[in-house]
Copies of this chain bind each other. A is one copy, B any other.
Amino acid sequence: MSVVQTVKILGLGAVALTLSVEWLGWLLRRIWPHGLRNRGPLKEVFFFPTEVACTEHVFHPDSPFPCPCPLPHGVETSFSRLLGHIMSASSSLDLCVFAFTNASLSRAVLALHARGVAVRILTDMDYTLITGSQIGAVRRAGICVRCDSGAVHMHHKFAVVDGRRLITGSLNWTLTAIQSNKENVLVTDEPDLVRPFIAEFQRLWAVNAPLRRPPSPVAEKPASLAV
């Protein structure tokens, strides 16, 4: 085979291969648009109130024993999905939440801390004092907590998991919010949405460092309703 023929065959072969790949991609996009689109960053939304169901499988996914509690089992609820995203943390959890009284969410945070995940909690100073607040329990376990006292209310309800997954919405970490209120939670890995929340957490964490706080911050805050 001459050099000219070899070049010709190679050239045409390359054209055929490249165009086939392009056409295959176009064809797949036409046939399966949602499948291809879903390969982007995680984007998930769920609503509350949630159905009450057992969530032991989130805490012990590998347990060989079935849970004996009387709640329904094997049901995926908004709450089990929320817990699952929190428990997926492998290196860090930065939590910025107005009210934190839910015992299951506190258990999740304590479990992460026990397995070496760096947990930081930023909360509203006034709301650490409400009935059932979990702030004392997480502090006693050695988790670093800072309280915001500079605003009327630190009304955020977001968490950043492993510096790359955002959990945000209207939901405070309370039993009323989860089982009784109409609430929303949005979970995403989209960097353009996660990045500003990371920056805001870092800013608020630094602003509320213990040495920077005034001696009696509670007195500065009006006891207004957080709406």
Q: Which residues of A contact B (CB under 8 A)?
A: 4, 7-8, 11-12, 14-15, 18-19, 22, 37-38, 43, 45-47, 49, 98-99, 101, 127, 130, 148, 150-158, 168-172, 174, 176-177, 180-184, 186, 188, 190-193, 196-197, 200, 204, 224-227
Contacts and interface: CB of A to CB of B under 8 A. Distances in A.
Contacts of A174: 227
25 contacts: A4-B8, A8-B11, A15-B15, A18-B18, A45-B193, A45-B196, A47-B196, A49-B151, A151-B181, A152-B181, A153-B176, A153-B181, A154-B181, A154-B182, A155-B170, A155-B181, A156-B182, A156-B183, A158-B184, A168-B169, A168-B184, A168-B186, A169-B169, A169-B170, A170-B170
A172 B176 CA distance: 18
4 A-B pairs with the lowest CB-CB distances in the bound complex, closest first = A11-B11, A152-B180, A45-B196, A99-B227
Nearest to A183: B155
A182 B196 contact: no
Contacts of A180: 151-153
A155 B180 CA distance: 10
Contacts of A183: 155-156
